[in-house]
Structure 1
Amino acid sequence: MVSLPQQPQGAPVTPHMVVCGDDGLVHRLAAELSGVYGERVTLVLPPARDDRRRSVSAAQGRAAALFGRVTGAVGRGGPAAGQNGTAPGPLVSIVEAAEPDDEALAAAGIDRAAALALVYDDDETNIHAALRARRVNPRLRLVIRLYNRRLGQYLEQLLDQAALVGAADGPDGARAAADASTTVLSDADTAAPALVAAAVAGTSKVVEAGGLLLRAAERPPPPDGAAPEPGTCTLALLSDGDGPELLPDERTVARAAGRGRLVLETVRYSAPPRPPSRLAVARSLPLGSFFSRRLRWALAGLAAAVCGLAVASWLVTGDDPVHAAYLSLLDLFAIDDPAIGQPLGRQILQLLSGLLGLLLLPLLVAAALEGLGTFRSASALPRPPRGMSGHVVLLGLGKVGARVLARLRELNIPVVCVERDPQARGVALARSLRVPTVIGDVTEEGVLEAAKIADSRTLLALTSSDTTNLEAVLYARAVKPDVRVVMRLYEDRFANAVYRTLRDSQPQASTRSRSVSYLVAPAFAGAMMGRQILGAVPVERKVILFASVEVAGHGALEGRTAAEAFRPGAWRVLALDLDSGPGLLWPLPAEHVFGREDRVIVVATREGLADLLGRRPRPRTADGERPFGAAR
Structure 2
Amino acid sequence: MRTEPGQRAQHMVICGDDGLAHRLALELDAVCGEIVTVVLPSGSDEYGAGVAALHRDPDSPVELFVSARPDERTLRAAGVERAAALALTYRDDQVNMTAALLARTLNPSVRLVVRMFDRERGRHLERLLDRAAGLCDDAAQDTSTTVLSDADTAVPELVAAAAVGHGHTLQVEGKVFRGVVRPAGTPPHATDLATLAVLSGAHQDDPASQDSAETPGEDGTQLLPDTQTAYHGQFTHGRLMLEEVVHHTPEPAARTRGRHLRGWLRARLAHLPWRVLLSHQLASVYGALAAFVVALSTATALFADEHPWWKNLYLPLLDIFTMGDPATEESVARRVLQLIAGFVGLAVLPLVVAATMNATEAFRTASASHPPDDDVNGHIVLVGLGMVGTRVLARLRSTGHQVVAIERDPQARGISLARELGIPLVLEDAAAPGVLELARVGASRSLLVLTRDDGQNLDIVMAVRETNPDVRVVMRLYDDDFAATVQRTLRASYPEALTRSRSVSALAAPSFAAAMMGRHVLGVMPVERGSLLFTCVDVAGHPELEGRSVHEAFRENEWRVLAVGAAAGPVPSSAMDTLTGLGPDRPGFDWRPGQGRVLRAGDRVVLATTRRGLDILMTGVRPHPAGRRG
Q: Does the TM-score normalized on the shorter chain lie above 0.5? A: yes
Structure 2 residue 624 is matched with structure 1 residue 612? no
Larger displacement relative to structure 2 (536-545 or 92-101)? 536-545
Tell me the distance in 1 between the aligned counterparts of 2:436 and 2:191. Answer: 44
Tell me the distance in 2 between the aligned counterparts of 1:378 and 1:232. Answer: 50
Once the two structures are TM-superposed, the CA of residue 527 in structure 1 deviates from its matched residue by 1.8
Tell me the distance in 1 between the aligned counterparts of 2:190 and 2:62. Answer: 46
Is the partner of 2:82 in helix, strand or coil? coil
Is the partner of 2:75 in helix, strand or coil? helix
Q: What is the correspondence of 1:573-592 to structure 2 with a 5 Å cutoff?
A: 573-579=561-567, 582-592=587-597
Tell me the distance in 1 between the aligned counterparts of 2:157 and 2:22. Answer: 21
Match of 1:175 in 2: 140
Match of 2:470 in 1: 482
Match of 2:327 in 1: none
Q: 1:520 to 1:96 in 2, by over 3 A?
A: same
Letter in 2 for 1:233: A
Match of 2:227 in 1: 250
Identity of aligned residues (%): 47
CA RMSD of aligned residues (A): 3.8
Q: Deviations over 1:8-57 (max 9, x none)?
A: 389974112111111111112122223223411111212357xxx56x79
Q: Deviations over 1:194-247 (max 9, x none)?
A: 211111138854322234433433333335xx5774763122233412654322
Q: What is the correspondence of 1:418-457 to structure 2 with a 5 Å cutoff?
A: 418-419=406-407, 421-439=409-427, 442-443=430-431, 445-457=433-445
Q: Is the 2:408–2:429 Cα contact (8 Å) retained in structure 1?
A: yes
Q: What is the correspondence of 1:201-280 to structure 2 with a 5 Å cutoff?
A: 201=164, 205-222=168-185, 229=190, 232-241=193-202, 244-256=221-233, 257-268=235-246, 271-273=249-251, 276=255
Q: Is the 1:394–1:415 Cα contact (8 Å) retained in structure 2?
A: yes
Q: Is the 1:212–1:583 Cα contact (8 Å) retained in structure 2?
A: no
Q: 1:567 to 1:284 in 2, by over 3 A?
A: closer
Tell me the distance in 1 between the aligned counterparts of 2:143 and 2:615. Answer: 20
Is the partner of 2:184 in helix, strand or coil? coil
Letter in 2 for 1:209: V
Once the two structures are TM-superposed, the CA of residue 383 in structure 1 deviates from its matched residue by 3.5
Letter in 1 for 2:199: L
Q: Deviations over 1:552-599 (max 9, x none)?
A: 343322332211221222221111132375210221221222233432
Match of 1:194 in 2: 157
Tell me the distance in 2 between the aligned counterparts of 1:282 and 1:145. Answer: 35
Q: Is the 1:141–1:181 Cα contact (8 Å) retained in structure 2?
A: yes
Q: Is the 1:192–1:403 Cα contact (8 Å) retained in structure 2?
A: yes
Match of 2:113 in 1: 143
Tell me the distance in 2 between the aligned counterparts of 1:137 and 1:522. Answer: 24
Structure 2 residue 391 is matched with structure 1 residue 403? yes
Larger displacement relative to structure 2 (599-608 or 390-399)? 390-399
Q: 1:538 to 1:47 in 2, by over 3 A?
A: closer
Q: What is the correspondence of 1:451-530 to structure 2 with a 5 Å cutoff?
A: 451-489=439-477, 494-530=482-518
Structure 2 residue 513 is matched with structure 1 residue 552? no
Match of 1:385 in 2: 372
Q: Is the 1:519–1:543 Cα contact (8 Å) retained in structure 2?
A: no
Match of 1:82 in 2: 50
Q: Is the 1:401–1:426 Cα contact (8 Å) retained in structure 2?
A: yes
Structure 2 residue 109 is matched with structure 1 residue 131? no
Larger displacement relative to structure 2 (478-487 or 409-418)? 409-418
Q: 1:485 to 1:616 in 2, by over 3 A?
A: farther
Tell me the distance in 1 between the aligned counterparts of 2:457 and 2:433. Answer: 15
Match of 2:27 in 1: 32
Once the two structures are TM-superposed, the CA of residue 603 in structure 1 deviates from its matched residue by 0.9
Q: Is the 1:159–1:182 Cα contact (8 Å) retained in structure 2?
A: yes
Letter in 2 for 1:266: E
Q: Is the 1:119–1:145 Cα contact (8 Å) retained in structure 2?
A: yes
Q: Deviations over 1:69-90 (max 9, x none)?
A: xxxxxxxxxxxx8369866545
Q: 1:413 to 1:88 in 2, by over 3 A?
A: farther
Tell me the distance in 2 between the aligned counterparts of 1:42 and 1:291. Answer: 59
Letter in 1 for 2:140: R
Match of 2:269 in 1: 290
Q: 1:281 to 1:572 in 2, by over 3 A?
A: closer
Larger displacement relative to structure 2 (516-525 or 131-140)? 516-525
Q: 1:554 to 1:32 in 2, by over 3 A?
A: farther
Structure 2 residue 21 is matched with structure 1 residue 16? no
Q: Is the 1:460–1:486 Cα contact (8 Å) retained in structure 2?
A: yes
Once the two structures are TM-superposed, the CA of residue 154 in structure 1 deviates from its matched residue by 2.1
Q: Is the 1:221–1:260 Cα contact (8 Å) retained in structure 2?
A: yes
Q: What is the correspondence of 1:151-162 to structure 2 with a 5 Å cutoff?
A: 151-162=121-132
Q: 1:460 to 1:285 in 2, by over 3 A?
A: closer
Q: Is the 2:191–2:244 Cα contact (8 Å) retained in structure 1?
A: no
Tell me the distance in 2 between the aligned counterparts of 1:415 and 1:478. Answer: 22
Q: 1:16 to 1:538 in 2, by over 3 A?
A: closer
Higher relative contact order (CA 8 A, sep 6+): 1
Tell me the distance in 1 between the aligned counterparts of 2:388 and 2:6. Answer: 42
Tell me the distance in 1 between the aligned counterparts of 2:262 and 2:466. Answer: 45
Q: 1:421 to 1:127 in 2, by over 3 A?
A: farther
Q: Deviations over 1:418-458 (max 9, x none)?
A: 44555544344334434344455555555544544333321
Tell me the distance in 2 between the aligned counterparts of 1:393 and 1:603. Answer: 34
Tell me the distance in 2 between the aligned counterparts of 1:604 and 1:39. Answer: 18
Structure 2 unaligned regions, length at least 5: 203-218, 275-355, 569-585
Q: Deviations over 1:285-341 (max 9, x none)?
A: 85564367999xxxxxxxxxxxxxxxxxxxxxxxxxxxxxxxxxxxxxxxxxxxxxx
Once the two structures are TM-superposed, the CA of residue 102 in structure 1 deviates from its matched residue by 2.1
Structure 2 residue 379 is matched with structure 1 residue 394? no
Letter in 1 for 2:117: Y
Is the partner of 1:93 in helix, strand or coil? strand
Q: 1:458 to 1:216 in 2, by over 3 A?
A: same
Q: Deviations over 1:369-408 (max 9, x none)?
A: 9xx9899849963242341433322233333222211111
Structure 1 unaligned regions, length at least 5: 1-5, 58-80, 296-368, 621-625
Is the partner of 1:216 in helix, strand or coil? strand
Q: Deviations over 1:329-382 (max 9, x none)?
A: xxxxxxxxxxxxxxxxxxxxxxxxxxxxxxxxxxxxxxxx9xx98998499632
Letter in 2 for 1:222: G
Q: 1:132 to 1:427 in 2, by over 3 A?
A: farther
Q: Is the 1:381–1:436 Cα contact (8 Å) retained in structure 2?
A: no
Tell me the distance in 1 between the aligned counterparts of 2:455 and 2:484. Answer: 15
Letter in 1 for 2:196: L
Tell me the distance in 2 between the aligned counterparts of 1:210 and 1:489. Answer: 32
Is the partner of 1:266 in helix, strand or coil? strand
Q: Is the 1:519–1:536 Cα contact (8 Å) retained in structure 2?
A: no
Is the partner of 2:605 in helix, strand or coil? strand
Tell me the distance in 2 between the aligned counterparts of 1:44 and 1:134. Answer: 17
Q: Deviations over 1:159-208 (max 9, x none)?
A: 1111122x24xxxx3334xx211111222222211211111138854322
Q: 1:395 to 1:544 in 2, by over 3 A?
A: farther
Letter in 2 for 1:471: D
Is the partner of 1:290 in helix, strand or coil? helix
Tell me the distance in 2 between the aligned counterparts of 1:397 and 1:495. Answer: 20
Q: 1:230 to 1:123 in 2, by over 3 A?
A: closer
Tell me the distance in 1 between the aligned counterparts of 2:469 and 2:167. Answer: 24
